[in-house]
Structure 1
């Protein structure tokens, strides 16, 4: 496929590098800033631009991987300059209707994973969820997704949005709890490294057990005495106390 990557952030970087590794290097990287486009282009061996007038006009696929709040404006500008090909975005919560009236063939390729520029993921294991404007376009986006991943499925927007919410709970909220744990540890002269074996086992259990079955801790045991002691210790930090209280109450109410 002749692919143009629109964006040079975390998602775009991982997609572009994965494509390059399998011999499907994007023919061009566009980014709002030329420096960002050049950094990714140099990493995968292609060309860069920040000028809409110089974006390749005859690509088979344009992959829009930019921040959600910039996506509508980027799609407007992209489709004003490029009229042919398949246009896809990678966002979990954004509708493919953003392309309606601007492109003939369009859709979504949502890779459900946490990405960073500093660490490449094994994209073959990443669940990718696809939606398209028509059957022909679906076939093309499916082909693209299968170049990236062994775990590809079609999913309507209505369900993809719930998938994204679930991912926020499972990944983003879990990690902010780790950040709060790090805050507590560092305040008392301990490194967050001591948590890593605990976290590794927590995730490992989820490969075998439903999260409800894997839940442990004082609230899951109904040990309200320990919960009360912890809350007393956190009295000087209202935010941490509130989070601890809300989560503990949820566990207490929903424990088996």
Structure 2
């Protein structure tokens, strides 16, 4: 397939990397030429910054930009790509955002966290596809199956629930790691001492019902320890961490120590 990418960020980079092994990356479109060129030269693609420079001679166009930019992007590019299949990679953006402007519209959503510094195991990464017609659905299914062993035909509402869950499971949990590191850094304690605990917690959550795996002072209703921790955070002049600690502890108490 001949594929063009709209965007030159983390998602675009990882998609270009995996797709270039089997397909031709034709163009990289970005608002800034430096970003477009930096990505394009890695895959022998053309770097462009203007919609009118888009070539219509492609099979697939992937919009890999921020969610709030998708609607404006499709409005800008669809007149120059009248017959190409255009998809976005968002978990929380409805297919209709593209469908309103473009007949051949779809979704190609990888449920993964992307960082430039880390490689992605595409075979185990769940991919979710959706399209406005059956032929494009089959095309996206074939493309997804060439990358991953876990491919699903999910609706926009199903993807949205997954994206919300991913924020809790990934973004919020990572911020909890960040807060944990702030706590030990203040006492010059090695954060790596928590690595086995972090990995075991993740393993338990992926192999069992997370609710059944909950441990800790809030789950036990140990108010004495909760108070000690709250005092420590207040004395360290970190009311932001104290507030998060109080909210999470209260939620765990309510779930595991019903009145």
TM-score (norm 2): 0.93
Deviations, residues 109-140 of structure 1 (Å, cap 9, x unaligned): 11111001221211111111111112122111
How far apart are 1:86 and its partner, in Å? Answer: 0.7
Q: Within the alignment, does 1:8 sit opposite 2:8 as a pair?
A: yes
Q: Within the alignment, does 1:140 sit opposite 2:178 as a pair?
A: no
Which residue of 1 is the match for residue 214 of structure 2?
215
Q: Is the CA contact 1:80–1:102 (under 8 Å) kept in the aligned structure 2?
A: no
Count of residue pairs the alignment pairs up = 255
Which residue of 2 is the match for residue 181 of structure 1?
180
Quickly say closer, same or farther: Cα 1:133–1:222, change in 2 above 3 A: same
In the aligned structure 2, how far is the partner of 1:191 from the partner of 1:77?
A: 50
In the aligned structure 2, how far is the partner of 1:254 from the partner of 1:147?
A: 42
Which residue of 2 is the match for residue 163 of structure 1?
162
In the aligned structure 1, how far is the partner of 2:13 from the partner of 2:138?
A: 24
Residue range with higher mean Cα deviation, 44-53 or 115-124: 44-53
Which residue of 2 is the match for residue 239 of structure 1?
240
In the aligned structure 2, how far is the partner of 1:49 from the partner of 1:78?
A: 12
In the aligned structure 1, how far is the partner of 2:164 from the partner of 2:46?
A: 36
Q: Is the CA contact 1:131–1:138 (under 8 Å) kept in the aligned structure 2?
A: yes
In the aligned structure 1, how far is the partner of 2:146 from the partner of 2:16?
A: 12
Structure 1 segments unaligned to the other structure (5+ residues):
none
Q: Is the CA contact 1:15–1:148 (under 8 Å) kept in the aligned structure 2?
A: no
In the aligned structure 1, how far is the partner of 2:50 from the partner of 2:57?
A: 16
| Superposition misfits of 4+ residues, deviation over 4 angstroms | none
TM-score (norm 1): 0.94
Structure 2 segments unaligned to the other structure (5+ residues):
none
In the aligned structure 1, how far is the partner of 2:147 from the partner of 2:83?
A: 23
In the aligned structure 1, how far is the partner of 2:116 from the partner of 2:42?
A: 11
Which residue of 2 is the match for residue 252 of structure 1?
253
How far apart are 1:249 and its partner, in Å? Answer: 1.1
CA-based RMSD of the aligned residues comes to 1.5
